[in-house]
């Protein structure tokens, strides 16, 4: 655990400044040598145990911090979980990755390709952060979370959908790491290998797009705003979540947040929030839940479900 005071001691900031602008008090950072695959395997193991299963037909890993540029990390995760030979691939939609991963997993099931899909959101996002950047260091943490999707009936608890997924590539430079890929593999400027974020502009786009997307899935499902029991948004910034809830007309107690304790864990934030909400009783079987995310790309999306009777791992 890395608290605000530890960050304040080495950067020009303070606990009050971080809390007032982000809502974050602490975050988790991996030990040296711990990778995204390591986190994903542990999250996947817990999800399988929670579901009472030992098998899955596919693994979808939502991450933007794969252990290597090539190959994808999901096959390694599948092998370490004993899921040899199953379909396994990465989905990189950054902070929207888990919602995109859920859509992908649901699509595999709907197409008859798989009956059980393990969807994992995992990121060691601190590996992309300039340790001297007071604008990003306080925000991001590392983590992983996972769910096991299975084929079922549309009306039962846990059934996902509809989905609403979007992107806007023209705005990629608002939130990106310039170097490291095929276009700019080796930059002499070390800053090119770290995340650059235009915070205020990203804030405005995140609020507008998440609200728009949440309204779209509510309309598609025939739900009214008053029907929603919990809004689980990507845990990027407490003010983004509060603004989204206000613009949607949701009551204050409908919006769930655990960002104070974990920070922004990118693709892992929604599954971690779901697990925490279930553990502390904020999610109950039958609750109508809307999930929404926004991330680099730009990417954003939403989906919804009625919460099943599950015990998180």
Among candidate residues 4, 92, 258, 264, the one labeled active-site is 264
Residue owning tokens 């009777």: 309
CA 223 to chain centre: 24
Instruction: Give pLDDT, residue 213.
Output: 98
For the chain, residues with pLDDT lower than 70 are none
Q: Strands 116-124 and 58-62: what pairing?
A: parallel
Which tokens hold the place of 102? 């859920």
Among candidate residues 234, 237, 244, 258, the one labeled active-site is 234
Other CB atoms within 10 Å distance of the CB of residue 2: 16
Positive or negative, the CA dihedral 119, 66, 198, 30 is: positive
Burial of 166 (0-12, 13-18, 19+ CB in 10 A): middle
Positive or negative, the CA dihedral 279, 220, 205, 195 is: positive
Q: Where are the beta strands (DSSP E) in the chain?
A: 2-3, 26-27, 58-62, 87-91, 116-124, 142-150, 163-167, 175-176, 196-197, 230-233, 255-256, 288-295, 299-306
Going by C-alpha positions, the residue among 195, 181, 292 that lies closest to residue 241 is: 292
Among candidate residues 4, 92, 95, 237, the one labeled active-site is 95
Query: Dihedral (C-alpha) 160, 44, 271, 313: value to the nearest 10 degrees?
Result: 100
CA 72 to chain centre: 18
Phi, psi dihedral angles at 255 (to 5 degrees):
-75, 125
- Establish whether 237 is a catalytic residue: no
Left (φ > 0), alpha (ψ -120 to 50) or beta: where does 78 sit? alpha
- Establish whether 95 is a catalytic residue: yes
Cβ within 8 Å of residue 69, ≥6 positions away: 180, 181
Q: Is 249 helix (H, G, I), strand (E, B) or coil?
A: coil
Instruction: Give pLDDT, residue 313.
Output: 81
- Establish whether 244 is a catalytic residue: no
Is the full-model pTM beyond 0.85? yes
What the chain holds in terms of domains, given with CATH numbers, is 2-150 (3.40.47.10), 159-307 (3.40.47.10)
Would you say 138 and 22 are in contact if contact means Cβ atoms under 8 Å apart? yes
Cβ within 8 Å of residue 78, ≥6 positions away: 59, 84, 86, 88
């Amino acid at each position: 655990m890395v608290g605000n005071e530890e960050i304040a001691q080495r950067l020009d900031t303070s606990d009050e400044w971080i809390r007032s602008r982000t809502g974050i008090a602490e975050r988790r950072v991996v030990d040296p040598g711990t990778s995204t695959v390591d986190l994903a395997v542990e999250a996947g193991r817990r999800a399988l145990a929670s579901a009472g299963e030992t098998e899955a037909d596919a693994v979808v890993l939502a991450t933007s911090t794969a252990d290597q540029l090539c190959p994808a990390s999901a096959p390694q995760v599948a092998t370490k979980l004993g899921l040899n030979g199953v379909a396994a691939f990465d989905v990189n939609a950054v902070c929207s990755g888990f919602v995109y991963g859920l859509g992908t997993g649901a699509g595999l099931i709907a197409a008859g390709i798989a009956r059980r899909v393990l969807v994992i959101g995992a990121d060691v996002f601190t590996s992309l952060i300039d340790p001297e950047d007071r604008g990003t260091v306080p925000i991001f943490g590392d983590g992983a979370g996972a769910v096991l999707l299975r084929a079922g009936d549309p009306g039962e608890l846990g059934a996902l959908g509809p989905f609403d997924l979007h992107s806007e590539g023209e705005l990629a430079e608002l939130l990106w790491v310039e170097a490291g890929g095929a276009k700019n593999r080796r930059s002499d400027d070390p800053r090119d290998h770290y995340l650059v974020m235009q915070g205020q502009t990203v804030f405005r786009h995140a609020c507008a797009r998440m609200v728009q997307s949440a309204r779209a899935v509510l309309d598609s499902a025939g739900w009214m705003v008053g029907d929603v029991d919990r809004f689980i948004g990507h845990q990027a910034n407490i003010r983004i979540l509060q603004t989204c809830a206000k613009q949607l007309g949701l009551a204050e107690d409908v919006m769930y947040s655990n960002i104070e304790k974990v920070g922004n864990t990118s693709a892992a934030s929604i599954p971690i929030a779901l697990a925490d909400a279930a553990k502390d009783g904020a999610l109950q079987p039958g609750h109508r839940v809307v999930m929404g995310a926004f991330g680099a790309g730009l990417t954003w999306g939403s989906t919804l479900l009625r919460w099943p009777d599950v015990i998180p791992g």
